[in-house]
Structure 1
Amino acid sequence: MEDEHNSPDMMTADEEDPLLGTQLGSFRLVRRLGRGGMGTVYLGEHVSIGSRMAVKVLHEHLAAYPELVQRFHAEARAVNLIGHENIVSIFDLNSAPPRPYLIMEYLEGVPLSSMVGTPVKAEVWIPILSQACEALHAAHLRGIVHRDLKPDNIFLVQRAKGAPPFVKVLDFGIAKLIDGAGPQTQAGIIVGTPEYMSPEQSRSLRLDGRADVYSLGVIAYQMATGRLPFMEEGTAAQLVAHQTIPPPPPRSIYAGVSIPVDAVILRSLAKSLTDRYENALALKAALEAALAEELRGPPPEPPPAPPPPVASPVRETPSRRRARPVELPARVVLRPGAQPERLVCSDIARGGLFLRTQGELPPLFSRVQVTLELGRGALTANCEVVRLVTPEQALLWGMAPGFGVQFVDASADFKAAIDQLLKGGTGNTPQVAVAEPSKDVEAEVLLEGFRTNLQKDHYSLLSLPQDANLETIRTRVRVALGELEGLKGRPLSSSQRALLESVLTRVRDAGETLTNVTRRAMYDALLGNFRGVESCLSAGLTVTQLEALRKDFLVRRPNAAGTARVHILTGNAYEKNGQLARAVEAYERGLAVDPLDLALLQRYRALRRALSSRPSP
């Protein structure tokens, strides 16, 4: 049995790949498993313990686009936040240049594409797609649309000899990296696979989970008949067919398709969203009902060729990693120095939770502090925002607006409470108390220097000016981490140890952000720190990168350009009247609102040079 994550026709000779034999993190890349539009998947072996994982590496030509790398990072975390057993697990990620990569579970089995080409019995393919429907519904509830469903991305795992196949949906969220209004046009990427693409997706319209329902309908058609609904050649012809041409009924292609199954497939392929199944679970229920009706009636004609020997899968006990709906009050500090806001936690998983809010959403990748209010008292964890669901998306997806977070700094007590909640408990059973050591005086002196700035911005935390150069930041982070790591071996009190972990997390995060010019530029923009953006330009941030970052920034701050425009016009008026100092001040106010405006940055710097070259009165 083949052990590939992608179909064999997507692979080329291993010797042509320069990454083979190299090491990423702790894994050596020993064999290429497949190649897709966003990245290449390799078999990776741990250099020390020999364990095997799949390593997905973002294509080199895409790694130059900050938005793609950032969303690669965010979607990878969102996959684990879903926590569904039928979605391939992601265990680690590295979004740093030059080649971002993911560490995923290595699957042994075959893709569903190994079964295409001849009609497959409904009792084989319907249970397979039913599992895929469950995975997709879990994702849709959390605002994630796959966008690139096809047989290559539905993988059949043989968990034991003679056991039925278990479905894993691959590349989940990777296609979601690209948005119709994002930088994909610059990168030259087409979203999705034309043969499986919904009409609304090919028209770059707003999408919801029904786009994936359509793609599942195409796969169902292909399983039932042995061919695609449209046989047109070329991308444009395929897209036009999906948009305008009704598919021929499956029964007209292969008479062995039953009337109930035929009806379900055609409804899932409806051009209009309102005529399609409203969600993946509705499609699953319709497929299973059609199968039951077919099995009660006369058997269909046998297929012209026997399908591969794959038995229908059985439902397994839900994984303990599956998210559990809850209703828990929480206090959330959305930004450093802000007052806690009272929100409701509506879903929890082992790695994170979802928080409902009608207010402003925090920035993606930002750190927030979440305090769960349990009967035994309050438990707090530092988290990172990995998913945003706007009110518009929530309306489309039938869920509450809010944001998903992943735990990055949670105490053992907090984790124990999450485990209890996932098992149906209340989370109120405390950990067994241990003897509390006294505070370490020397450690307290060092930690106190960070304590007052812990909830402030990265520059304040590191006691750096906001226009610090790259080398100064690196030196400060290196010194701070050295001092803090040195405290780990000392006999700290529990409160000191918790503070130390919080400070270490914040300092590492600050270092990762401020020593990467693209991440720092976006961070500075959200902070209103145009002088930091200037430092990024001096450190090598390119114009192309700056322009891509500004597009993302204006999505988050849609009023920024208009507000800055008022200050720009004011500065222009002062400049025409020869009041250069006032013009500089006006431009600075504009840059504080829209720090990534390259034209304004250039005008401001030129005017500042002109002002400094003026003779003193």
Structure 2
Amino acid sequence: MQSRTALGGAAMGCDHCYTDHPTTVPCTRPEGPPCDSEALSGMGYGPLVLMRKLGAGALGTVYLAEHPSSGAHFAVKVLHPHVAGNPAVLTRFYAEARSAQHLIHPSVARVLDVRQAPSGHHCLLMEYVDGTVLSSLPLPLPPAEAVFLLSQVLEGLEAAHACGIVHRDIKPENLVLTTGRDGERRVKLLDFGMASTLAAGFTEEELGAGMVVGSPAYLAPELWVRAEPDGRADLYALAVVGYRLLTGRLPFGGGGRMGEMLLVHKPSRPLPPHVIEERVPPALSAVLMQAMSLRPDDRFASARALHAALHEAMRRPAFGCIAPPAFRVKLEDPRGLGLQPALVNDVSEEGLRIASNGPLPPLGARLQAELSLNGWALECACDVVRLLPAEEARTWGGRQGFILRFSEPSDDVRRLISQALAPPPAEPAPDPELAQLLSRAAAFSQDPYTLLAVHPHADFAEVMRRVAQAERRLEPFWQRPLPAEQRQALAALRGKVEVARRTLGEPMARARFDASRGNFRGVARCLAAGIPPTAVERLRQTFLTTRPDAEARARSLFDEGILMEAQNVLDGALSRYAEALSVDPLNLMLHRYYRALVQRVRTVQTEAPARPSASH
């Protein structure tokens, strides 16, 4: 379900169009349901058969599909007929789906195909993800568990952002915790491109009246004021998800409170997570608060930078008896499978609190355990002194499990536990040289060309030389003792350099970026690097989808240039071609005309001095 709050309107949602608009704006969706969702069960989709409805949203209904001969399962999203009737939405639907097909990552649900079925329905074939949405987990989660989940999502976002794909609607309902064939738990991110698809159906008048697309509690502030989002909007939304996982509540409450605050120009900061939930390390709390900054420039520059900051925050035990991340425990498996890793919630001098999703051991049972910390591993025996069933655990916001008490621990075991509980060492003083560098870097824009101090028309060799230069400049600081705040800022700066490398160092990514800026000379560098024409045309179609008048404007400028060239007004023709390319920078035909005319002008300029002057 999309946003149910309108900026500037009453906090009510429309039950007809699945979007948010003020009550003064008439709903444009026809009366009646979008389609009889169950009527499509049994419909064929290629070799697949739609079995049953899984859910429905603003764009369509999702069905479980089965391959009869193999029994393999897939998910098929069927676009609502009233949505498919909007040409802009339908075009964006296919463009976003085709972009998502190139996104392959273990933490992202695959988009496998998009096409119109024989029935006339427009369908999206996706990987079927069977698991638990994060909104259904018992909250709050232990910090280590929350960081584990967030880290997997960030890995998927890093891959998506590298492809130029922004999700725009990250929320717990789009994050599914599942178990892979290898038995490893994995978070899958669903519904890439669907928010952008829905937004394509809004007119300028509707947007101006306050319609927003997305889930209001997770919507980045810039999206409430119609800004074009980048990856930092996804990081904001994921930080709100992390806040909820750690505290069990939302930072700004439900509905569109963030939008209302922006409207009246009174944004306020929520309470940091560690103030609400004492188990949350202050360093982890600070990372999420930075990621939820109102200004995109104040957040982390990339998913990788936020990922690094989360793990850096968890490296040091922050307080009390929460188990430090480096502390590991293996317990005797009652099924005779030997020692198996256990999830430790708390540790004390007397024993451990263990979280477990499986059957609980008998009360009073003695279990063999292996404790390890910083390469030091010791065995000991533990007694089960208390069981924490799911019903009881939910009352204090934890997970089911049991409490162990060490049975006659040796002196070595006591020393290991004392080391695990030792307070962190005092933070070193800020490094003055790094402080100066970070101060200068704070003035950098999000433009990767500016960050690397490289010309927008530079070739790829120069770009990579500047990247290597920037990395060498930062490398020595990692060997120095730094306070957590400086180390986080250094990680964020390194993340910006890495984003710049991925954006400008790979032809397809750079072509996409340069096209968005109208930098056709940068695009020309990418074409010279050997991007296949078919790939360029796919990029161009995606580019034009968001700029419906660009092709016509460029054609008009091109026609003016053709006329000037015929009249031998070469400088004027060259200027018109350049203007046309700035509007439609991925147009291969325009690039060919521009290059040919540049060469012609150079030839004329080279030959001009050799001609005899009129005085002779």
Larger Rg: 2
